[in-house]
Structure formats: C-alpha cells, structure tokens
Amino acid sequence: MTAQGELEGKVALVTGASRGIGFAIARRLGQMGARIAICARNRERLERATSSLQRERFELVAVKADVTRSEHVSSLVSKTEKELGPIDILVNNAGTGVFGPFHELSEKDWDTVLDTNLKAVFLLSRAVAPQMIRRETGHIINISSLAGKSTFANGAIYCASKSGLMGLSGAMAEDLRAHGVRVSVVCPGSVATDFPSQKGKNVSKKLQPTDVAHAVAALVTQSPGSFISEVDIRPTRKP
C-alpha cells in the first residue's frame, strides 16, 4: 500500500489523462500528494477530467495537446514546468489502436497508431530527460500492453507499436540509469475501458484502470537504489 502524501512536492505529468487508465493514474498520483499535469487532445473530455480532479483539491494544470507533434510537446512541458516545477514523474499513457487484417489497413492507420503509441513517447521522454539528468533524479513510466509480447489476429499495427515501445523503454532505461533516472514499462492485459480491442469481452473479468494506477504508484515509490524495469498485469480470470 502507498501512503497519502508520499509524493509531496513531486510533479507528475500524465498523457492521455482525460479518461480511463490515464485519468486513474493522475488521480492516484494526486492522492499521493503530487502536483499533476494532464493532457489530452479532446478539449471537452479534458475539461470534464479537470473538473473532477479539481473537486479533490489537487494542484493541477491541464493542457490540450497532441503529443505526436513536437511543438505541442515543447509547449506542454514548458507550461508544466512554469506552473508546477520540474517534472519528476512522466507517465506516457496516451495510446490508440486500429484493428483489422493487416492487409486491409491503410498507411494512415499505421501512421496514426505508431505516432501516438511510439513517436509520442520518444518526443516527451526526450523533452524531459535533460532536466532529469541534470537533477540526477526522475522516473519515466511507459504504459505498454501485453500485446507487445503476444500477437493476435487483427492486431498487427497495435502489436507492432507496443512491441516497439518495449524496445524503446529498455534502451531508454540503459541510457538513463547511470544518471539516477529510472525507466519502467507497464504491460496491462484487458482493461475495462472503451478501447476498441476490448469490445465483446466480459467486463466483469477485466482489469480496472485503478489496477494500472496501483502499479504506477508502486513504481514511483521504490527505494532509490533499485528500479522495477517491467510490470505485467493480468486479470485473475481470463475475459
């Protein structure tokens, strides 16, 4: 169990935080005392998430941003640092999926998924890493999927993006660990969200967004001399 106030004074930036897993992570980190920055592309959903989090009196900044675009990433990081302080925790959660037989999908489908699930992680991590290196502290957590390890029919582009994220995360961890910056990857199985690949599955048997948030909370409260590089999360019963 993690304690309230355990992240007092820390700044956490969570992408794709207007709903689902990202919202649950942001809320959990706020409950632990962190000052939180959230972003999403959809303004209406972002405003709803902001109102909900503000009711819990978290110190919060919300930014409408497309994290696949480098200029948006720069603005997001700059605004977070200006209003809350240097970023201690980055959770790269924003993700998307397009599903179907690979030979029926388009180049646009490929670009949409790879830009969101992989390029955005590179852009954001690259933006925050220099100040983490200077301060010799920080934690970057990338939300991947068990689909990065186990392929399935109609999931070619999504699986490719999450497999790539696994490789990127591992290499980032090696690049940054000597500087006191930890990089971890979380790989959930089926989570009860409105994500397209979950349609038709038994909701009662799925993971909950709070289960992923619990794993993130555990990662950011490790002792300084170690880091958990990878966490797999599966439902107790298969959906």
Catalytic positions are 158
Position 209: which residue type?
P
Catalogue the E-assigned strands of 55-214. Answer: 60-64, 89-92, 138-143, 181-188
Residue type, 131: Q
CA distances from 122 to 64, 168, 174, 188 (A): 19, 8, 15, 20
CA separation for the pair 206, 203 (Å, rounded): 5
- What residues contact residue 119 under an 8 Å CB cut-off, 6+ apart? 68
Identity of the amino acid at 57? R
Backbone φ, ψ for residue 12 (5° rounding): -120, 130
| H helix and E strand count, the chain | 7, 7
> What's the chain's length in residues?
239
CA angle 39, 117, 102 (to 5 degrees): 140
* 188: Cα within 13 Å, side-chain hemisphere: 25
Instruction: Please answer whether residues 74 and 126 qualify as being in contact, where contact means their C-beta atoms are separated by less than 8 angstroms.
Output: no
